[in-house]
Amino acid sequence: MPQWFCTGTCNPVGKDLGPNCQQADADLYCALLTGDPEATASAWKQGTVIEAGGFCCLGQDESTIDLGPQPVYDIEALCYQESNMQANHMFGYAILKSEVTCE
């Protein structure tokens, strides 16, 4: 999961976490990366989408995979894309796995 898409109100969980990448995005990304629903991001940066898969905008198109509800993380829906996200998310922002510190 190399990146978490967060542009406007479009994100992998389909609920408004705020405009573009916010602390709530980073915290949720950390929770999923670590498998710990209590994990938070102590540091992160908003960057641009890279040529890799990742958590994408919910319902973007047929290239996305609906991972369904994740109740342990209080998520009603979650979306992932295995293919290059620059193909359909090129004008957006993301939090990159390499740019987030989870605790």
Q: Does residue 95 contact residue 47 with C-beta atoms inside 8 Å?
A: yes
Mean pLDDT of the chain: 92
Q: pLDDT value at position 60?
A: 66
Q: Does residue 33 contact residue 102 with C-beta atoms inside 8 Å?
A: yes
44-77 per-position pLDDT tens digit: 999 999 999 999 988 767 788 999 999 999 999 9
Q: What is the C-alpha to C-alpha distance for residues 29 and 3, in angstroms, rounded to an integer?
A: 9
Q: pLDDT value at position 89?
A: 83
- Dihedral over Cα of 63, 58, 72, 20: its sign: positive
* Predicted structure pTM score: 0.92
More confident residue, 89 or 103: 103
Domain boundaries, the chain: 3-102
Question: Does 25 have pLDDT greater than 90?
Answer: yes
Confidence of residue 38 (pLDDT cuts 50, 70, 90): very high
Q: Which of 70, 67, 26 is nearest to 44 (CA)?
A: 26
Q: Token pair for residue 22?
A: 């916010």
Average pLDDT of 3-32? 90
